[in-house]
Amino acid sequence: MASDTPDAGPVSSTLSIPACSEFPRHIAIVMDGNGRWARKRMLPRVAGHRRGLETVRRLVRQCLERGIPNLTLFAFSSENWRRPADEVSFLMKLLLRALHTEVLRLHANNIRLRVIGDISRFEPTLQQAITQAATLTAGNTALTLSIAANYGGRWDILQAVKRMQAANPALRDDFTEDDLTPYLSLGDLPEPDLFIRTGGEQRVSNFLLWQLAYAEYYFTDCLWPDFDEVAFDAALLSFRQRERRFGRTSEQLVPQRAAI
């Protein structure tokens, strides 16, 4: 039964109305435009990826400063294997290097780091670095930083169904959203309130298909390496101006607004 009472926990936005506040509790970002940033400067595409990592570093700090507790970044999609082999290999090395150089700093800042996606396709050294980083930072509480790597939204839904059925063979086809949610990537977090895509494209590209059901979408032409604090604050301002109705009418929200 759908409830009308706002809930603070990681509940499904289609089953009960999530708690809403001025700042998103969870931001999910498609970091797009690295290649075009580099091309504009007559640089190789990989130079854009390198600069993109600097944006990530700055953004993590900006989230900490603003008290945003969950940040999920799309780093490599299940479709990005279709890119030229040398670019794929550079991206894998960049991810491994970033894990090595950043993890201690993230840990010192009380940040929990994890990777979502099918990591079984990665080199063993990368898989190990991912697992070690997650283990080291598992108890941290200031910010949960989830990096989506070899991630696809359809893969996520399928793996969740498979794992749920393996764990509960009795469920068969008689299961609910609540049964499935814990098996989805990010199932332990509130659903993203704000989805940002840089780089000018207005598509989801197989990112968090299930989890973005009621996110507010924000698209900007800004290329990812240029996505600075001013650009981030513009996205947050846009979010604050949205009316999140979750199926209700605007009039139904008026008493809530008066109570604030």
* Contacts by 98-104, CB closer than 8 A, 24 or more apart: 98/53, 98/56, 99/126, 99/129, 99/130, 99/133, 100/129, 102/57, 103/132, 103/133, 103/136, 103/137
Q: Give strand pairing partners of 18.
A: 7
Shortest distance, position 205 Cβ to ligand IPE, whole Å: 4
Stretch that binds ligand IPE, among 29-37, 104-112, 124-132, 152-160 (CB under 6 A): 29-37
Q: Which of 69, 152, 199, 225 touches ligand IPE (CB under 6 A)?
A: 199
Of the candidate residues 16, 62, 80, 127, the single one contacting ligand IPE (CB under 6 A): 80
Residue from 18, 26, 28, 32 touching Mg ion (CB under 5 A): that is 32
102 is a contact residue toward Mg ion (CB under 5 A)? no
> Would you count residue 76 as binding ligand IPE (CB under 6 A)?
yes
CB 218 within 8 A of CB 240: no
A 10 A CB-CB count for 175 gives: 14
140 binds ligand IPE (CB under 6 A): no
Nearer to Mg ion, 149 or 236 (CB): 149
Name the residue among 100, 3, 37 with its Cα closest to residue 227.
37
Active site residue 80: yes
Which candidate in 4, 70, 80, 86 is catalytic?
80
User: Exactly one of 13, 53, 70, 74 binds ligand IPE (CB under 6 A); which one?
Assistant: 74
For Mg ion, give the closer residue by CB, 32 or 216.
32
Active site residue 32: yes
C-alpha to C-alpha distance for 88 and 76, rounded to whole angstroms:
9
| Half-sphere CA count of 59, side-chain side, radius 13 A | 26
Q: Confirm or reject binding of residue 33 to ligand IPE (CB under 6 A).
A: yes
CA atoms within 13 A on the CB side of 14: 8
Active-site annotation, residues:
32, 80
Residues that bind ligand IPE (CB under 6 A): 30-36, 74-77, 79-80, 91, 199, 201, 203, 205
